[in-house]
Amino acid sequence: MTTPAYPEDSRIELLSCPYNKSHQIQRNRMQTHLIKCRKSYPEISKVACPFNVTHLIKEPELSYHVSICADRASFEKFKIQDDLDRTDETRVITYELTSDQNWDSVCVEKTYNPRKYMDSANLIRHAPAGAKPSERKEFRAAEFKRHKQ
Ligand SMILES: [Zn+2]
Ligand SMILES: [Zn+2]
């Protein structure tokens, strides 16, 4: 009987090592495993993470990296805040916006849209992968300008 590691089927989620599919690694051990395993593949070139060009990742690891990238987390934080609506900051804003309304009839759209709009307007995007330092600088300058408008 073979038991392929389908994440849905196993409580301990096993991932295939991007370098060698026969390495089945627990998700929380993958990072440690990759540090060791990538040493066996010095010839594989690195690519920039789509969320942060300063993250240089060996190509086979990219999809794993993207799933754990801290910069991606900061992108998705906004979504999570909207979904859970549980941070103090969000609560204050929710209260201000709904203080004259019945809590039972709080319109979800109204409670979080202004906050979400501000967050996305203030978000500084990263320069495209592969940009030269001068291009990156220009990109950032343009982003800051956009951000101030
Ligand atoms: Zn491996
Ligand atoms: Zn990254």
Query: Residue 124: inside a domain, yes or no?
Result: yes
Full residue range of the structural domain in which residue 2 is found: 1-41
Among the bound ligands, name the one nearest to the CA of residue 33. Answer: 1
Query: Residue 29: inside a domain, yes or no?
Result: yes
- What's the pLDDT at 137? 81
Same domain, 94 and 136: yes
Neighbours of ion ligand 1 (CB under 5 A): 17, 19-20, 23, 37
Q: Rounded distance, CA 47 to CA 56, Å?
A: 5
- What's the pLDDT at 127? 64
Bridge partners of 26, per DSSP, are 14
| Residue-averaged pLDDT of the chain | 74
| Cβ neighbours for 87, distance < 8 A, ≥ 6 positions apart | 81
Query: Residue 60: inside a domain, yes or no?
Result: no
Same domain, 30 and 92: no
More confident residue, 12 or 123: 12
- Give the CA dihedral 67, 39, 26, 17, nearest 10 degrees: 70
Query: Residue 101: inside a domain, yes or no?
Result: yes
Residue of 119, 57, 65 whose CA lies nearest to 87: 119
Same domain, 78 and 143: yes
User: Which tokens hold the place of 123?
Assistant: 């978000």
Q: Using the mean position of ligand 2's atoms as its centre, give its distance from the Cα of residue 60 in Å.
A: 14
Summarize pLDDT for 83-132 with one digit per residue, the tens.
665 555 544 444 444 455 555 554 444 455 555 555 555 555 666 677 77
Query: Residue 47: inside a domain, yes or no?
Result: no
Q: Domain total for the chain?
A: 2
Query: Residue 56: inside a domain, yes or no?
Result: no
Same domain, 30 and 77: no
Same domain, 85 and 138: yes
User: Which tokens hold the place of 92?
Assistant: 């204050």
Q: Please check whether residue 71 is in contact with residue 52, taking contact to mean a CB–CB distance below 8 angstroms.
A: yes
Q: Using the mean position of ligand 2's atoms as its centre, give its distance from the Cα of residue 77 in Å.
A: 15
Residue 10 has pLDDT above 70, yes or no: no
Query: Residue 88: inside a domain, yes or no?
Result: yes
Same domain, 32 and 87: no
